[in-house]
């Protein structure tokens, strides 16, 4: 058989089927067809006593071809291919290495025996896409390891190590990576010689049936916390229940039905959208070598960035000219890493090595030899310009100079440097060692290889780097100000902080805007607004937030903000004093207060956000609607099961969003409620932001 996606090799009396579909051997329709054809031929071949299925390249099979989920299923279905593999009359052995995920794990379970490389990872991450294992995984895995462990694997979405898989008897043999094929061949011949024959999981029953109701309730609660809004949580439990209580064929039919229902759900569509939105392409151009990184500023942000770099294996020079700040930053690095060890998130040796990689210094000259610098000082343009003038003098030629600014003009910062082509924005989100998102801000003079190098560094430290254009607030904070503006106006018009937050949390936001402000520190935005020259005067604009700051209510760090935080608690408690302050300010501004329903709260905040997103797409500040979605889902707590603000707009329909904006313009005026021309264009054509982006991308190819 000759097929570029699947090679068949006869090794004496063993047929070796090698799936070769780079980069991850995804089980596309063409691969499924080739595999089914090869299995039928090998099963019929009298010269083969056993069959080995393996993956070429770095992985066995890391899942299905997710792009196919947007269309109707095409034959042969994976279910049918796996049934044919399981029905083989001679032993079929899966030789596993790299990632064995989703459909790849289901393929391994359909084989009769499994041997794995000791560094392999196995998992069923379908729940992360709002799906369930639809090709027999919910039926075969419980029959192999019991319903309890099977539910834990499926509902967590997390992979397990080869050692754990061996302990659970998912894999029968373990080999070293370099010896895997030869060991698999030897195992196949051993099975054939002993007359072991096929071992079909479909013929087994689930030992001990379903676990106790208390365990299922715990799993249900944990999955709801990890994957809110995802229907497949319950479908997984139901299908595993069918494995325990029904014949294999009935459970398989149920799992296929539930898979199709989940595939077509809005949550799964949203999560699949984000899957691709967050797959950032690797640089195609050479990047600058980076092995040591300097951090200027040892505050909370600087020390968090240092932790991210050091745990990724990079040498870090942590510099702060204030001795007390430097000492506090070093201590913060140490205690944070030790806490990660205590929580089981980091091995002690890895934490010790990361701490050792961080070198503290009180002089900026310590950055002279580093490859990359991240400035993390006070958010003030004059301060940052002074810093970059010094960095361009001190740092070696070719070193990348990055500013961790959240709102400031990167071109104005770069203009202070002697080499603006080396300057880039690198906006980390707090806490930097936890938050995945980094906005990579390109300035007018930023060199292309600097952008590529910054993106590569973000990837190396486990961050999602999204390239954005330069304007006030870039993508994230510029759109946040539109969202937050409506929150502030709603407070003055009659909504309480707790009502606004509850309405948006009900929508799925991780936190409401008032609790977020308290967490970040209300004084941060206060300082930024004092430095802005680009907004028209409006006495209502962030007036409540300003009054809170001026009253010394800075948020969680002072125990008082929009809410109270008694005894150091992080749980917001409504405060009558804040309600009275808002009512008094409404009266002073002559704003009539009224009852406001939750629907209006959600529409005003979300439509303002979407409209601002359309503005920045037109201006080229965001490269695509998907980038805005990635930023909001990873930096601002937008619910993943809704796909991000621009995906949500497409789900609602641009016409519905435009109608809402026009409704609010008629009530509140056009200054804040003028529809973006792009939104009007998309609505007029009955179109979507995704389709608009697709046409635009096609024109540039």
> What amino acid positions are annotated as catalytic residues?
106, 126
- Nearest CA-CA partner of 95 in 125, 72, 118, 124: 118
- Nearest CA-CA partner of 301 in 434, 450, 484: 434
SS (H, E, C) 376-427: CCCCCHHHHHHHHHHHHHHCCCCCEEEECCCCCCHHHHHHCCCCHHHEEEEE
State yes or no: cis peptide before 431, omega within 30 of 0: yes
Dihedrals φ, ψ of 189, to 5°? -70, -35
Cα dihedral: 676, 681, 684, 686 (round 10) = -110
User: Which tokens is 48 given?
Assistant: 């083969």
- Nearest CA-CA partner of 649 in 701, 609, 684, 597: 609
Distance CA 299, CA 329 (A): 6
CB-based contacts of 671: which residues, under 8 Å, 6+ apart? 536, 538
- Nearest CA-CA partner of 540 in 588, 483, 507: 588
Contact predicate 479/616, CB 8 Å? yes
Distance CA 146, CA 553 (A): 54
* Coil/strand/helix, residue 105: helix
Contact predicate 278/464, CB 8 Å? yes
Handedness of CA 282, 286, 290, 296 (dihedral sign): negative
Residue 30 CB coordination number (10 Å): 15
Cα–Cα distance list, 561 to 576, 580, 674 (Å)? 12, 14, 32
HSE-CB for 515 with a 13 A CA cutoff: 21
* Coil/strand/helix, residue 442: coil
Distance CA 371, CA 383 (A): 23
- Nearest CA-CA partner of 490 in 478, 481, 499: 499
CB-based contacts of 75: which residues, under 8 Å, 6+ apart? 29
Cα–Cα distance list, 608 to 349, 444, 612, 614, 630 (Å)? 48, 28, 6, 10, 18
Distance CA 534, CA 412 (A): 15
Contact predicate 182/189, CB 8 Å? no
Strands 173-175 and 423-428: unpaired
Distance CA 225, CA 223 (A): 5
How many residues make up the chain in this entry? Answer: 701
* Coil/strand/helix, residue 512: coil
Distance CA 147, CA 575 (A): 48
Q: What is the DSSP string of 584-632?
A: HHHHHTTPPP----HHHHHHHHHHHHHHHHHHHHHTTSBS-HHHHHHHH
Q: Which helix (H) or strand (E) holds 43?
A: helix 29-44
């Amino acid at each position: 058989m000759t097929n570029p996606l699947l090679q068949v090799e006869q090794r004496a009396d063993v047929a070796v089927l090698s799936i070769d579909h780079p980069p991850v051997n995804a089980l596309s329709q063409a691969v499924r067809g080739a595999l089914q054809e090869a299995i039928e031929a090998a099963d019929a071949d009298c010269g083969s006593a056993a069959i080995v299925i393996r993956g070429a390249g770095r992985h066995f099979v890391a899942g299905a071809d997710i792009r196919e989920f947007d269309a109707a299923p095409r034959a042969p279905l994976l279910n049918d291919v796996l049934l044919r593999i399981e029905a083989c009359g001679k032993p079929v052995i899966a030789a596993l290495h790299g990632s064995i995920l989703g459909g790849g794990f289901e393929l391994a379970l359909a084989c009769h025996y499994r041997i794995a490389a000791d560094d392999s990872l196995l998992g069923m991450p379908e729940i992360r896409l709002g799906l369930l294992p639809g090709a027999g995984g919910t039926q075969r895995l419980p029959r192999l390891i019991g319903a309890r462990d099977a539910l834990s694997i499926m509902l967590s979405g997390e992979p397990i190590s080869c050692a754990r898989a061996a302990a659970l008897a998912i894999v029968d043999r373990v080999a070293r990576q370099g010896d895997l094929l030869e060991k698999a061949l030897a195992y196949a011949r051993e099975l054939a010689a002993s007359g072991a024959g096929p071992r079909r999981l479909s013929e087994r029953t689930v030992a001990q049936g379903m676990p106790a109701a208390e365990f299922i309730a715990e799993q249900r609660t944990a999955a709801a916390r990890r994957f809110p809004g995802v229907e497949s949580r319950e479908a997984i439990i139901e299908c595993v229940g069918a494995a325990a209580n029904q014949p294999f064929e009935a459970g398989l039919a149920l799992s296929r039905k539930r898979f199709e229902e989940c595939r077509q759900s809005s949550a799964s569509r949203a999560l699949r959208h984000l899957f691709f939105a967050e797959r950032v392409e690797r640089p195609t151009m050479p990047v600058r070598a980076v092995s040591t990184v300097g951090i200027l500023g040892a505050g909370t942000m600087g020390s968090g960035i240092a932790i991210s770099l050091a745990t990724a294996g990079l040498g870090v020079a942590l510099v702060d000219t204030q001795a007390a700040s430097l000492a506090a930053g070093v201590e913060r690095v140490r205690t944070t890493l030790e806490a990660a060890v205590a929580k089981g998130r980091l091995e002690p040796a890895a934490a010790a090595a990361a701490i050792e990689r961080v070198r503290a210094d009180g002089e900026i000259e310590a950055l002279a030899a580093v490859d990359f610098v991240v400035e993390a000082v006070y958010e003030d343009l004059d301060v940052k310009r002074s810093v970059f003038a010094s960095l361009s003098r001190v740092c070696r030629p070719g070193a990348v100079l990055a500013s961790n600014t959240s709102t400031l003009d990167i071109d104005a910062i770069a203009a202070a440097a002697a080499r603006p082509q080396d300057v880039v924005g690198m906006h980390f989100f707090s806490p930097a060692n936890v938050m995945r998102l980094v906005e990579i801000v390109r300035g007018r003079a930023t060199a292309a290889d600097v952008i590529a190098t910054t993106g590569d560094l973000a990837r190396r430290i486990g961050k999602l780097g999204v390239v954005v254009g330069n304007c006030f607030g870039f993508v994230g904070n510029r759109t946040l100000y539109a969202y937050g503006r409506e929150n502030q106006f709603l407070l003055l018009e009659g909504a309480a902080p707790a009502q606004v937050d509850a309405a948006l949390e009900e929508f799925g936001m991780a936190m409401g805007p008032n609790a977020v402000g308290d967490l970040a520190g209300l004084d941060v935005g206060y300082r930024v607004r004092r430095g802005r020259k680009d907004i028209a005067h409006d006495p209502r604009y962030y007036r409540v937030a300003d009054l809170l700051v001026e009253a010394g209510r800075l948020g969680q760090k002072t125990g008082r903000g929009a809410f109270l935080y008694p005894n150091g608690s992080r749980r917001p408690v409504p405060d009558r004093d804040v309600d009275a302050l808002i009512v008094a300010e409404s009266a002073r501004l002559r704003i009539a207060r009224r009852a406001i329903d939750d629907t209006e709260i959600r529409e005003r905040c979300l439509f303002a956000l979407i409209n601002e997103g359309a503005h920045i797409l037109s201006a080229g500040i965001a490269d695509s609607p998907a980038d805005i979605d990635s930023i909001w889902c990873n930096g601002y707590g937008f619910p993943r099961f809704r796909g991000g603000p621009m995906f949500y707009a497409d789900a609602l329909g641009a016409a519905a969003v435009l109608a809402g904006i026009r409704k609010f313009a008629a009530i509140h005026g056009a200054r804040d409620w003028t529809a973006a021309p792009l939104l009007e264009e998309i609505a007029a054509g009955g179109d979507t932001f995704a389709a608009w982006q697709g046409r635009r991308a096609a024109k540039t190819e």
